[in-house]
Structure 1
Amino acid sequence: NRSSQVRPRDVLGIVRTVLFAPEDLALVKGDPGERRKFLDELVTARSPRMAAVRSDYERVLKQRNTLLKSAAMARRHGGRSMDLSTLDVWDQHLARAGAELLAQRLDLIATLLPLADKAYEQLAPGGGPLGLAYKSSAGEPVDSGAARSREALYEVLLAALVEVRKQEIERGVTLVGPHRDDVLLRLGELPAKGYASHGESWSYALALRLASYELLRSEGSEPVLILDDVFAELDARRRERLAELVAPGEQVLVTAAVDDDVPGVLVGARFGVSGGEVTRL
């Protein structure tokens, strides 16, 4: 509303968007960090206060890693052992912020799965079902119903930190926490990563984005849909199915290098960009 905002997190939740992009393939084929980022961005979109929780967790993690790294270097160079009494305090802070983030991720996965499974069936009929399972570095089945309370997750994380403390001091890095977790994606009975074809992987990634859109829409104002050159990555059948699914959106922005890549069902204003000039087509 024409007022300056100093911090990016101050505008979180005001305008919500869901972005489809070629990089989304990394949700299926990429490293765990891609899937953690996906979860945390969606968690923050659902609950903007989680930006502060994520910031707190990253701050504590940085401080704890600095202490562990100093202890590891002192040990390797034969110096005196450092006083690690403050590590207990950092453990508690890390476990407390981590438990809140973990609880939000687990709730998100449980809510997202049926929406993603439905979206995948719409994109690739008969190709599912999908499976989403949370893999915790704490080594506990934290995605079970018995461990969903924040206090229970706090105790799980705290116990795991105590168990790996010796290894952490040797390596100089925090080995347990949401920053080292992953989401296991399954397609039918097999892991999607390494077994899904290129087309199946694309459909899986798109299903996760479509599920995100449906979730945000069901919990508040309809998000803006942004499709950044994704149709070029799809075969004709998947292009048409995706276009039919997003066409009813209240506001949809589409980019494409080739005009013919955009299915005809997506009607609206079209603009061309060439040589730095924007013209209406």
Structure 2
Amino acid sequence: MYLRQLDLRDFRSWPELHLDLEPGVTVFSGRNGFGKTNIVEAIGYCAHLSSHRVPTDQPLIRHGAEDSRVSATTVNDGRELTTHLLIKARGANQAQINRTKLKSTREILGVLRTVLFAPEDLALVKGDPSERRKFLDDLIAIRTPRIAGAKADFDKVLRQRNALLKSSGLTLRRGYDDPEGATALTTLDVWDAQLARTGALVIAARLSLIDELAPLIHDSYAAIAPESRPAAVVYVSTVDQAVEELTGASTRDPAVIEAAMLSELGRRRKNEIERGVTLVGPHRDDLQLILGDQPAKGFASHGESWSFALSLHLAEFQLLALEGSDPVLILDDVFAELDAKRRQRLVHVAEQAEQVLITAAVGDDLPGNLDDAVAARYVVTMNETEEGRMSTIEKVGETT
């Protein structure tokens, strides 16, 4: 798989950009803040419908513009598809594949597959559980787009349920004997059922994914840091106890997880009403990263943390590659963060990919053993105009 063409309009610092890309290695160099990462961020957005840098879409739209547009032409086993995304400041985003308008932007998931390494990856190890949940959910969305729909439905139900808990706490405490309390509790019952149904699909998908990822993560970490302790991953859920009580063992069956989640919601209802927040569900789960017999977070060294973050993405790349075409590999300013050993391991993966996109502040950050694979080099600069700062790009040997 490779990206043949990219067009941007009003995306961050780019009022306009057109790129014709090739298989092999493409390097974007330029000073920090000039807009090179914005290019690969746009590509990653086409693959995941989210940014690796910010949690919302608003910062992606160039200052003063109403919307931004990202178009990407992907070639996969000779088949060419072009996705168009309109990212709007107000209202729902819109998407097309070739000339066909889609009902939901999620329908483009899977057309372009990417694996991205970035300095932000340390948050996978040192950051909040939300970072690790996002890692799992993004990968699930690429492999099984319908689960992305279930996750979106879960998030919507969760917001509604939390709003009810927060705004109607006093009414809910009155119980079923009070008419208003009974109405509010009946509404809560409805949200519980929907939350359990959609949440069970998300949890089951995450558990199944980890079954496949865990051995790949273990082996990747051992290759990166053979002198370190063995790496492992464990999914820790708010419904683990309830599942154990129902089945006596773990399960990937959504129906069993749904029953367990309903049971746990019932058990913790009083606490949730008192606190005004939902305490049960995949939004409270975590992917625990373990080195030896200790959690990596808080116990791993800086080098071990980087190795673990790399091993997660190496496992992601291997899993996607096993399913067919190699994903597009994006290395966003990471070589400067890595020592020689980790650079070598990353170069080994890059050599396997059909297309690699690299950003670097200076050309020296690129390992010498990748030079022969470089198909194109671009220099990104920044111009000050009356309309603000605007990125420009020049291909080595010609002006773009």
Q: Output the TM-score relative to the length of structure 1.
A: 0.92
| Equivalent residue in structure 1 for 2:188, among 84, 87, 99 | 87
8 Å contact kept, 2:117–2:330: yes
Q: Partner of 1:15 in structure 2?
A: 112
Residue segments in structure 1 that go unaligned for 5+ positions in a row: none
Q: 2:278 aligns to what SS in structure 1? A: coil
Matched, 1:122 2:219: no
The CA deviation string for residues 59-116 of structure 1, in whole angstroms up to 9 with x for no partner, is 111111121112225579xx99633112122111111111111000001111101111
The CA deviation string for residues 184-242 of structure 1, in whole angstroms up to 9 with x for no partner, is 10012211000111111011001101111111111232210101001111112211221
8 Å contact kept, 2:350–2:356: yes
Following superposition, the deviation at residue 4 of structure 1 comes to 5.5
Q: 2:369 aligns to what SS in structure 1? A: coil
In the alignment, the residues of structure 2 paired with residue 5 and residue 180 of structure 1 have an alpha-carbon distance, to the nearest angstrom, of 35
| Equivalent residue in structure 2 for 1:274, among 357, 381, 385 | 381
* Equivalent AA in structure 2 for residue 111 of structure 1: E
Matched, 1:35 2:132: yes
| Equivalent residue in structure 1 for 2:321, among 205, 217, 222 | 217
Q: 2:313 aligns to what SS in structure 1? A: helix
In the alignment, the residues of structure 2 paired with residue 107 and residue 270 of structure 1 have an alpha-carbon distance, to the nearest angstrom, of 40
In the alignment, the residues of structure 1 paired with residue 268 and residue 351 of structure 2 have an alpha-carbon distance, to the nearest angstrom, of 50
Residues 217-256 of structure 1 aligned to structure 2 (within 5 Å): 217-256=321-360
Residues 260 and 4 (structure 1), Cα distance of their counterparts in 2 relative to 1, 3 Å cut: farther
Matched, 1:150 2:262: no
Q: 1:253 aligns to what SS in structure 2? A: strand
* Equivalent AA in structure 2 for residue 18 of structure 1: V
Following superposition, the deviation at residue 140 of structure 1 comes to 2.1
Q: 1:265 aligns to what SS in structure 2? A: helix
**Considering only CA atoms, is the larger Rg found in Structure 1 or Structure 2?**
2
8 Å contact kept, 2:242–2:261: no
8 Å contact kept, 1:186–1:192: yes
Instruction: State the aligned residue count.
Output: 279
Whose strand proportion is higher, 1 or 2? 2
Whose helix proportion is higher, 1 or 2? 1
Residues 162 and 248 (structure 1), Cα distance of their counterparts in 2 relative to 1, 3 Å cut: same
| Equivalent residue in structure 2 for 1:208, among 307, 312, 315 | 312
8 Å contact kept, 1:113–1:132: yes
Residues 116 and 64 (structure 1), Cα distance of their counterparts in 2 relative to 1, 3 Å cut: same
In the alignment, the residues of structure 2 paired with residue 141 and residue 227 of structure 1 have an alpha-carbon distance, to the nearest angstrom, of 41
Q: Which moved more, 1:115-124 or 1:210-219?
A: 115-124
Structure 1 segments of 4+ aligned residues over 6 angstroms from their partners: none
Following superposition, the deviation at residue 120 of structure 1 comes to 1.2
Q: 2:352 aligns to what SS in structure 1? A: coil
In the alignment, the residues of structure 2 paired with residue 214 and residue 251 of structure 1 have an alpha-carbon distance, to the nearest angstrom, of 15
* Equivalent AA in structure 2 for residue 10 of structure 1: E
In the alignment, the residues of structure 2 paired with residue 109 and residue 145 of structure 1 have an alpha-carbon distance, to the nearest angstrom, of 17
Q: 2:99 aligns to what SS in structure 1? A: coil
Q: Output the TM-score relative to the length of structure 2.
A: 0.66
Q: Partner of 1:3 in structure 2?
A: 99
8 Å contact kept, 1:244–1:265: no
